[in-house]
Amino acid sequence: MTGLSLPFTLSKRPPMSGRAQIVARLIAVLLSLVFAGLVLLLFSLNPIKVFTAMVEGSIGTQLRFQQTVIRAIPLTITSLGILVAFKMKFWNIGGEGQIVMGATAAAFVALTYPELPAGILLPAMAVAAIAGGAVWALIPAIFKAWLGTNETIFTLMMNYIGIKFVMFLQYGPWKDPSAQGFPKIPNFEPAALLPKVFGIHIGWIIALVLVVAVYLFMNYTKKGYEISVVGESVDTARYAGMNIKQIIFVAMTLSGGLCGLVGMIQASGVERTLNFGISAGYGFTAIITAWLSRLNAIAVLFVCFAFAMMLKGAAFLQLEMKVPSSIAEVVQGAILFFVLGSEFFLTYRVSRKERSTAGAPAEGAQTSKGEGAVA
């Protein structure tokens, strides 16, 4: 009994030029808009009007632009953290938990030392958040380095542990006694809140600095080079005398630390307190944006802003145009499907199998004069 024979084959595509990759992605975006437009027509909606409204809803006014930037900040920094781990082919799916634990560590400092001046309190909260996220990421890193555990499942499960731990704090030990029974953690004092520049908390400045820092680290430092080598081939890295365990720890410390910092920024700059939903799905969304950026820190900035525009625009459609949330999600899904699909075709070539003809030489048989059979 023979297996199913597919009429096509997959083969690795030779590296494409930068211009060809850009063209392929632009074609994918255009196809996604065409497909999403057809879906909208099925629901008797004007695609041009809907797409225009999404753009206007995300950057049409100063306030909308600010709200889009506020969404792009955590997505950008989390994507940078995911990027570092993915560059080493350590599949860190635990961004959600690392954000939550970073926010928890920052909240502990803010609630324990509310009398400190902002110049001391905010840096202390940032350091605590980075440490909290790093420790949460190092736990699966240690198990991976010493016991060879599956980091994908490990980091994914730790998300739920972190979220449930904060839920326990919110409904228990850290519950605000003045909230009249409502399960919330006390709000931070003004000294624990991030200052604003141009109407947006300074997280946007932190994000820009980190984009440049991660780009330089990954491309111009020895440790960044070692992370890339381990990702390409562990055997090559070991043959070159690299300390694999140490590289794993460094990469995951950076990855978790960046995600943890996002927790502090969200708690201090947006929520002004801690709650168990503070990660808001950024840890999972950052996996998509990191891949779309081809693990390039500079590209992360633009991809995350575009993604934030899409999220904000979809929310605007629901509120202002009364478009059902399911339709807005279909539009988002169509765009993501085509853009992510383009990544597959940038890596692999699909070709038809040639039909075998009667009398054709069997595989391994002599095919030309002077050629012997392959042993």
Rg (C-alpha) for the chain, rounded Å, is: 25
Cα–Cα distance between 110 and 28 in angstroms, integer? 46
Average confidence (pLDDT) over 289-317? 91
> Do residues 167 and 103 make contact, with C-beta atoms less than 8 angstroms apart?
no
Distances (CA, A) of 75 to 25, 41, 214, 344: 21, 31, 15, 23
| Percentage of residues of the chain with pLDDT beyond 70 | 92
pLDDT at 357 over 70: no
Provide the mean pLDDT of the chain. Answer: 88
CB–CB of 70/229 below 8 Å? Answer: no
Q: Which amino acid is at 131?
A: A
| Domain segments of the chain as ranges | 46-322
> pLDDT tens digits, residue range 69-87?
999 999 999 999 999 999 9
CB 278 within 8 A of CB 103: yes
pLDDT of residue 355: 62
Tens of pLDDT, residue by residue over 90-149, are 999 999 999 999 999 999 999 999 999 999 999 999 999 999 999 999 999 999 999 989
Q: Are 282 and 95 in contact (CB under 8 A)?
A: yes
Q: What percent of the chain has pLDDT over 90?
A: 64
Model pTM?
A: 0.87
Q: Do 136 and 94 meet the contact criterion of CB atoms below 8 Å apart? A: yes
β 8-12/200-201 pair status = unpaired
Closest CA to 77 of 196, 197, 206: 206
CATH topology for the 46-322 domain: ABC transporter involved in vitamin B12 uptake, BtuC (1.10.3470)
What mean pLDDT comes out for the span 275-291? 93
Comparing CA positions, the residue from 151, 55, 19, 164 lying closest to residue 100 is 164
Q: What confidence tens digit (pLDDT) does each residue in 132-153 have?
A: 999 999 999 999 999 989 999 9
320 has pLDDT over 70? yes
Stretch (H or E) spanning 249: helix 244-266
